[in-house]
Amino acid sequence: MEDISVLICDDSALMRNLIGRIIDGTEGMKVVGKAMNGQFAVEKVPLLKPDVMVLDIEMPVMNGIEFLKKRKENKWDFPVIILSSVATEGAAVTMQALELGAADFITKPNGSTSADLSSVADRLTELISSYGCQYARRHGRDVYPPEFFYQQAKMRRAEHLVAEKKGGDFLKDKDISSRPLFSSRSSTATLSERTSISSISNSVRPVLDTKKPSFTWTPPTKKDPVVITPMRQGGRIEIIAIGISTGGPNALREVFKDLDPKIKQPILVVQHMPAGFTTEFANSLNRICPLQVQEANDGDVLKAGNIYIAPGNYHIYVEKKGFNYVVRLSQAEQRNGHRPSADVLFESVAKEFQNRALGVIMTGMGRDGAAEITEMRKQGAWTLGQDESSSVVYGMPKVAWELGGVQKQVGLKEMASNINKLAIEHA
């Protein structure tokens, strides 16, 4: 198997080293180069030919937005993952980056705790493996599938929990305390970065100072879908619910731009996205969609032809209030490792609407949404799932298909037309 090759572009020596350690500590991927600004990256791309790039936005000489414009000008098609801050300005420019062709984004660590860095490591590994695998395979390379890296992340989390329980004894046994994590003498590191290096060293070592894991991995086998006999026939569609994760930002742009303005049903969307970004994400979708797109608020009365995006860090579900249905938000515990969770949304739709709904499950790692879209199908709802060939990660829709929860699998380019047809014919 070949490694997924990664180019890192960030003006921070600390971040370049941190990201590099995460990548080089993951079996199946490697760092092929680093650049301290967009201009250096432009020069390195033709030589290194990366499968995926991790790109900062705020950099001197050439920033991330300027690089993306150059990438488009040069017709480079490798996926770019943006490193973003969580500030309001950071959210707006991140959405601009997505509009310019970036594949996805990850928030920079906003703390020095080991848990924070472990979360970043897992998310970064997921994005690099998902987009990098799709790109490498499209170009004839033989690389591990995303599930291989997903299993590694699970192993890393388990080892990290053991490390936390053992505490200092674990660090002593591993002789980690004597190893330098980052060089504080780097000529490109700022004073604040050198201070940061000192402050995070102890917390980050349990996450990164491990060898590439060695484990036996068996590719998942394909299962024939369970045959489900719905309790009732599909009825008039009164609501549409969509669950989506990795690969979602651009997939939703592809679907929403082609939705029919005659759609009358409200549409609720769970896109796994961190808090602080969903307002700008909804605004960016609203600019290209013929329907009204907004971030959902607790108590919103569902309106015909409006699209409601679940806010980051909040579950979204529907509830009947008088003669209307309203949006409800909750910060109940995570479900399937997510908040918002597609399962929470689908569960409420199955309960409130039974066969009078359309459920859609799209690209994403894991199984969030699969169980409850299956419950929607059992109740008689109409359901669609994204197919394997067009999914960045065929995880969520695959599990839903195998459980019998998907009536029909369709490609990304055909998803909008299928939604339009069902929504208008069964309005």
Residue 184 — pLDDT band, cuts 50, 70, 90?
A: very low
pLDDT for 282-318, tens place per residue? Answer: 999 999 999 999 999 999 999 999 999 999 999 999 9
Mean pLDDT over 271-290 rounds to: 96
Residue 87 — pLDDT band, cuts 50, 70, 90?
A: low
Whole-number Cα distances in Å, 34 to 37, 54, 119, 251: 9, 10, 22, 29
Task: Give the list of residues 6+ apart from residue 253 with CB closer than 8 angstroms, or none.
Answer: 98, 284, 285, 288
Closest alpha carbon to 343 in 387, 403, 283, 290: 403
Q: What is the pLDDT of residue 121?
A: 87
Of residues 129 and 108, the one with the higher pLDDT is: 129
C-beta neighbour count of 116 within 10 angstroms: 16
- Average model confidence (pLDDT) for the chain? 88
C-alpha count within 13 angstroms, C-beta hemisphere, residue 170: 16
pLDDT for 190-237, tens place per residue? Answer: 444 444 444 444 444 445 554 555 566 777 777 889 999 999 999 999
Residue 82 — pLDDT band, cuts 50, 70, 90?
A: very high
- Three-class SS of residue 233? coil
CA distance linking residue 28 with residue 149, whole number of Å: 8
Mean pLDDT check: name the lowest of 18-32, 41-55, 206-220.
Answer: 206-220
Residue 88 — pLDDT band, cuts 50, 70, 90?
A: low
Q: What is the pLDDT of residue 109?
A: 74
Mean pLDDT over 415-423 rounds to: 98
* Residue 112 amino acid letter: S
Most confident of 78-92, 109-123, 210-224, 267-281: 267-281
State the DSSP string of 388-415. Answer: TTT-SSBSHHHHHHHTT--SEEE-HHHH
Q: What is the pLDDT of residue 118?
A: 73
Q: What is the pLDDT of residue 162?
A: 79
Residue 188 — pLDDT band, cuts 50, 70, 90?
A: very low
**Positions marked catalytic:** 245, 272, 368
pLDDT for 345-398, tens place per residue? Answer: 999 999 999 999 999 999 999 999 999 999 999 999 999 999 999 999 999 999
pLDDT for residue 173 is more than 60: no
Whole-number Cα distances in Å, 23 to 103, 163, 194: 18, 20, 22
Q: What is the pLDDT of residue 214?
A: 59
| Residue 227 phi, psi dihedral angles, 5° rounding | -90, 120
